[in-house]
A and B are shown apart, each in its own frame.
Chain A
Amino acid sequence: MYLAELVDAPVLQAGSRIGHVVDVRLFVPRHTEGQRVGTPEVFGVVVCPRRTGSFLGFERTDARAPALLAAFFRWRARGSFLVLWDDLAAVSKDAVELRPEAMRWSPALA
């Protein structure tokens, strides 16, 4: 399965649909000199209540300009949250199922 197939998949929790996968977050072990090296690992998926598509980079907290566009794209992605990979109960390209106790983290990137 390709990771790209996960994007747009419906997200279910306790039998009801709560949104769609809009992004997949990877973690790359950080080298001491600030260079990112090593094999990337899937960290979690970002879920949005609506099918809004990409954040266009505005998920980063330092991306604040141009102000109107940043505000618009943040508003469009409102209610999005990050779910860690370990909190997923089942994964296929047709649907992603969250564990009932899955934590919802902020999708913002520092």
Chain B
Amino acid sequence: MKKIFAVALGILTAIGGFLDIGDIVTNAVVGSRFGWSLAWVVVVGVAGICVFAHMAGKVAAVSGRATFELIRERLGPRMALANLSASFFINLLTLTAEVGGIALALQLASSVNYLLWVPVAAFAVWLVVWRVGFELMENVTGLIGLLLIGFAVAFFLLGPDWGELGRQAAQLMPTQESPATYWFYAVALFGAALTPYEVFFFSSGAVEEGWSVKDLGQSRLNVLVGFPLGGFLSLAIAGCAALALLPIGVEVGTLSQVVLPVAEAGGTLLLVAIILGIVAATFGAALETTLSAGYTLAQFFGWTWGKSKAPAQAARFHTTMIVCLVIGLGVLATGVDPVMVTEVSVVFSAVALPLTYLPILIVANDPDYMGEHVNSRALNVAGQAYFGLILVAAVAAVPLMIVTGVGQ
């Protein structure tokens, strides 16, 4: 019974943990402009994060080593430093977007300007990183994040026209938008589904929780069941926007527009649930990106790291996290629109993805680390196909962003 509970808890937190501000905003924007015609990207992206997180979790559980230790060992210090710089920067951008997301959600709940919530959010993140145990933190944010199921409820309450949605999903290129914009959002959705921090966090968290080979089954279940269910919620978010906003020509540009269909379909109660869900999901992701900032730097330079270590024992790890939160705070204090930061962060996620994906794919095949648990042939076929796809998305991302003026 205890075991079933642990398995269920793992899956539930994976669902809640899958969605962050990038997924919420990007799916709503895409739904309001393209309907479900980019739904295939969510499916492809979710399968991709399953392949990637499965390999990263396996590497962490079998070798007991975290991502950036391995990257440095495999690529050598110089190439790994370039890799670290890019990954660290993208993670910082994502962290900024998540803290902004918490503040925007709190603004929706309180009508107090989000800029006043930003320092509160950043301080709360730091407090949790410092004081709260790893599993408690993961379980609470993951479970409250499950309230985002409200998007699925709203989707069904809106009375989906399946024929129309099916037509959108089958129609690859809507005529009202330019092909460049369509492909820009395809890359953005792909980047939102496959954010690099998810993998640093997933594998470092596995080391923090002391996973071993016997936890592989649980890890596989969390990924293979939890992430697709999270992807299902992504489709529901896009679907809500497609049903309520696309027909009246509202293009999502703010968080209040993201939740508009929910208010329309489910009233105040559902709206409250969704806002709480968004706060939990972005708060959880802010914690994960903050920790990831500490993980990547500490693992690269060989510092003591770990959430369970007190600041005095892992001073550089904790200082890194504080500095990153302060930088994020500073960026948001300039008044830059957090939704814009989010859109940029998911695109740059796509740019940086090959840097962490490739070393994981190589190490997952290395018998010196993995013994008998090296990738199967089928996993390698999928792993390499995704590497090709990730490379194409990474190369296309910045040109598409420039050509479309960030999707305008």
A interface residues with partner B (beta carbon < 8 Å): 4, 7, 53-54, 56-57, 62-63, 65-69
Partner of B366, one of A53, A54, A57: A57
Please indicate the chain B residues that have their CB under 8 angstroms from the CB of A54 in the complex. 74-76, 79
Minimum distance in angstroms from B72 CB to a CB of chain A: 11
Select which of A53, A56, A62 is within 8 A of B362 by beta carbon: A56
B77 interface neighbour in A4, A56, A65, A69, Cβ under 8 Å: A4
A53 touching B374 in the complex, CB below 8 Å, given contacts A66-B384, A69-B361 = no
In this complex, what residue of B is CB-closest to A73? B362
Interchain CA distance A31-B280 in the complex, whole Å:
55
Contacts of A67 in B (CB 8 A): 380, 384
Q: Is B387 an interface residue (CB 8 A)?
A: yes
Q: Mark B68-101, 1 if CB is under 8 A from A, else 0.
A: 0000001111010000000000000000000000
- Say whether A69 contacts B362, CB under 8 Å: yes
Interface class of chain A by DSSP: loop
Measured between beta carbons, the chain B residues less than 8 angstroms from A68 are 384
B361 to A: closest C-beta gap in Å? 7
Residues of the B chain whose Cβ atoms lie less than 8 Å from the Cβ of A7:
76
B267 at the interface (CB under 8 A from A): no
Inter-chain contact B362/A57, CB cutoff 8 Å: yes
A63 to B369, CA, bound (A): 12
Q: How many residues of B contact A (CB 8 A)?
A: 18
Q: Which A residues lie within 8 Å of B107 (CB)?
A: none
Q: Which residues of B contact A63 (CB under 8 A)?
A: 365-366
Task: Provide the residues of chain B in CB contact with A65, threshold 8 Å.
Answer: 365, 374-375, 377, 380
For the complex, is B133 an interface residue (Cβ under 8 Å from A)? no
Within residues 314 to 364 of chain B, which ones have a CB less than 8 A from any CB in chain A? Answer: 358, 361-362
Q: Does B367 contact A (CB under 8 A)?
A: yes
Q: Give the complex CA separation of A62 and B374 in angstroms.
A: 12
A66 pairs with B383, CB closer than 8 A: yes
> Smallest distance from the beta carbon of B358 to chain A beta carbons, Å?
8
Interface residues of B (CB under 8 A from A): 74-77, 79, 358, 361-362, 365-367, 374-375, 377, 380, 383-384, 387
A-side contacts of B367, CB under 8 Å:
62
Q: How far is the CB of A5 from chain B (nearest CB, A)?
A: 12
Q: How far is the CB of A59 from the nearest CB of chain B, in Å?
A: 12
Q: Of A53, A56, A66, which contacts B375 at CB under 8 A? A: A66
A63 to B358, CA, bound (A): 15
A66 touches B361 (CB 8 A): yes
Closest 10 CB pairs of A and B: A66-B380, A65-B365, A54-B76, A66-B384, A68-B384, A65-B380, A66-B365, A56-B362, A56-B74, A57-B366
| Given contact pairs A65-B380, A66-B383, A69-B384, A53 touches B365 in the complex (Cβ within 8 A) | no
A57 touches B74 (CB 8 A): yes
Kindly list chain A residues whose C-beta atoms are within 8 Å of the C-beta of B374.
Answer: 65
Tell whether, in the assembled complex, residue B387 and residue A69 are in contact, meaning their CB atoms are under 8 Å apart: yes
User: Chain B CB within 10 Å — which of A53, A65, A67, A68 has the most?
Assistant: A65
**CA–CA, A63 and B367, complex, Å:** 8
Candidate in B77, B361, B366, B383 with the most chain A CB atoms within 10 angstroms:
B366
A71 to B45, CA, bound (A): 26
What residue of chain A has the Cβ atom nearest to residue B73's Cβ?
A57
Which among A53, A57, A66, A67 has the greatest number of chain B C-beta atoms within 10 A?
Answer: A66
Apart from A56-B75, A57-B362, what are 20 other A-B pairs with CB-CB below 8 Å? A7-B76, A53-B79, A54-B75, A54-B76, A54-B79, A56-B74, A62-B367, A63-B366, A65-B365, A65-B374, A65-B375, A65-B377, A66-B361, A66-B365, A66-B375, A66-B380, A67-B380, A67-B384, A69-B358, A69-B384
A21–B75 Cα distance when bound, in Å, is 16
Give min CB distance, A61 to chain B, whole Å: 12
Q: Least Cβ distance of B273 to chain A in Å?
A: 44
Which residues of chain A are within 8 angstroms of B366 by Cβ–Cβ distance? 57, 63
A67's nearest neighbour on chain B, judged by CB, is B380
